[in-house]
Structure 1
Amino acid sequence: MRPIIIALDFRDRQQVFTFLDQFEHQERLFVKVGMELFYFEGPKILSELRKRGIQIFLDLKLYDIPNTVEQAMYQLGQQEVSMVTVHAAGGAEMIRRAKKGLLRGSEKAGVQPAKLLAITQLTSTSEEQMRSEQLVNASLTESVMHYAQLAQSNGADGVIASALEDPMIHRTTSNDFLCINPGIRLASDSADDQKRVVTPAQAARLGSDGLVVGRSITQAEDPIAAYKTVAKEWRTEND
């Protein structure tokens, strides 16, 4: 699969489709719908994207008691999206129940189940911040490895993590366990609020299974050109 996923970090459908109209001739487009857009537009935005033949990564980062997460995933499982997220920090039972709800929902709707991805540590989190604010005494790498193994052993299909951690995750999990990576920037771009960033080419060399790219494309003067640059770097290293 190895998709390039464009993060639609816009506030409403008008901004989304003004942006996506530039990509009308781009085949196999894959996008991320996050909290800001979904909370404003609701499931209708997913339906509109699907009508355009666009694959969807629905990134709501669920984190609650297991029963609540299961019931929420039951609803999301009916939305015909390709990927959904939970926080691995929610624990083993929460992850298992998330998968259970997701499968029940997709079965009811008669659609392919979404991949369940667990957030390890956000790419905006530094090791110093993790230690001082989360009171986690392990290293950032140890924390990410622990969450990846916890996620896999409880039914998740992969993790969201920095590409810098992909080699270690792949070594400690199975070959089909996905590492989807945000924090992707072209070499000429600012890191903004991200702490652990890599270029598409670096991510490919590190073993990434998919990129989530936001501002490098959405805020570029020429988004199509930026998308093609990301794709060229990504595919050259993957070929």
Structure 2
Amino acid sequence: MATELIVALDFDTAEEALALVDDLKDDVRWYKVGLELYLNSGGRILSELKMRRRKVFLDLKFHDIPNTVHQAVRWAAGTGVDLLTVHALGGADMMQRAAEAAKEGAEAAGVTVPTVVAVTVLTSMDQAGLAAIGIPDGPEKAVPRLAKLAKAAGLDGVVCSGRELPLFKDIPQPFVTVCPGIRPKGADTGDQSRVLTPAEAAQKGASFIVVGRPIRQAADPVQAARQILQDLREGEQK
């Protein structure tokens, strides 16, 4: 499957976000709505994107007791989003309830069941960051362990750094991988610790890459997005 680009709409207002969506036109199908934009827009951004026939990645990273996450995912699925996140550190029971809720919410609303993926280790964290919160293993051990737990719980895949993609070879397919922390060659890595270029992520088989600032802050966001799409295609051919 070809690697898809998800553009992160990390804006203060729905108006700013939708201006970028309209500028990118049909070049990009997928857009990420995170906490910042979801809260700032009062949730309105979801319906605006669906009206434009765009694919929506709702990245609210649900992490709570199983019943609370079940209710949250059931609601999210009913809005018609296409992809959503929970935290793998919430445990197997929480993830299993999330998988069940996605089906329940979609069926009740008459929409397609969204893909549900578990956040493993944030790409802003490295081994020192994990050790500071009491996880002695580095990402190379913690991420595949959490990925296997998510798969066993019935989730569709994980959010992870592209660097960890080779560690999933023994996980049964299909298994969706969403990779943030992607930076074009030569770009500032910002607050990301474990990064790859678009071509490297595609070469390693990522299902999706998530890119925000390198497109959003570019002098020409449309050209920046097109260059990343070209980099993905070149990476798939290697």
Pairwise same-fold verdict (TM > 0.5): yes
Contact 2:159–2:177 (Cα < 8 Å) also in 1? yes
Alignment of 1:8-87 (within 5 A): 8-24=9-25, 26-27=26-27, 29-87=29-87
Which residue is 2:230 aligned to?
Answer: 232
Output one character per residue of 1:129-166: Cα deviation in whole Å (capped at 9) or x when no partner.
Answer: 1012x111222211001100000000110000000000
**Percent identical:** 38
Q: CA deviation at 1:21?
A: 2.4
* Native 8 Å contact 1:28 1:53 kept in 2: no
* Counterpart amino acid of residue 166 in structure 2: P
Cα-to-partner distance string for 1:74-110 (whole Å, 9 max, x where unaligned): 1001011110000000000000111111111000011
| Structure 1 stretches of 4+ moved >4 Å | none
Q: Any stretches of 5+ residues in structure 1 without a counterpart?
A: none
Letter in 1 for 2:179: N
Kindly provide the amino acid, as one letter, of the partner of residue 83 in structure 1.
Answer: L
Deviation per CA, 1:6-26: give whole Å up to 9, x if none: 0000011111122222123x2
Q: Distance in 2 between matches of 1:174 and 1:10?
A: 37
Once residues 209 and 18 of structure 1 are traced to their aligned partners in structure 2, the CA distance between those partners, rounded to angstroms, is 26
Contact persistence 1:183–1:213 (CA under 8 A): yes
**How many angstroms does 1:175 deviate by?**
2.6
Give yes or no for contact 2:123–2:194 (8 Å, CA) kept in 1.
yes
Residues 27 and 200 of structure 1: CA distance in aligned 2, closer, same or farther (over 3 Å):
closer
Q: CA deviation at 1:28?
A: 5.3
Q: Residue 35 of structure 2 contacts residue 59 of structure 2 at CA under 8 Å; is this kept in 1? A: yes
Once residues 106 and 198 of structure 1 are traced to their aligned partners in structure 2, the CA distance between those partners, rounded to angstroms, is 34
Contact 2:156 2:175 in 1 (8 A): yes
SS at match of 1:186: coil
Where 1:116 maps in the other structure, the secondary structure is strand
Question: Corresponding residue for 1:201?
Answer: 199
3-state SS, counterpart of residue 78 of structure 2: coil
Post-superposition offset of 1:62: 0.3
Take 1:52 and 1:174, find their aligned partners in 2: how far apart are those partners?
35
Amino acid at match of 2:67: N
Distance 2:84 2:19 in 1: 25
Pairwise mapping of residues 163-178 of structure 1 onto structure 2 (< 5 A)? 163-169=162-168, 171-178=169-176
**Which residue in the other structure is 1:214 paired with?**
212
Structure 2 distance, partners of 1:130, 1:139, is 7
In structure 2, relative to structure 1, the CA distance for the partners of 1:28 and 1:9 (3 Å cut) is: closer
Indicate the SS of the match to 2:177.
strand
TM-score by length of 2: 0.96
State the 1:27 CA deviation.
Answer: 4.8
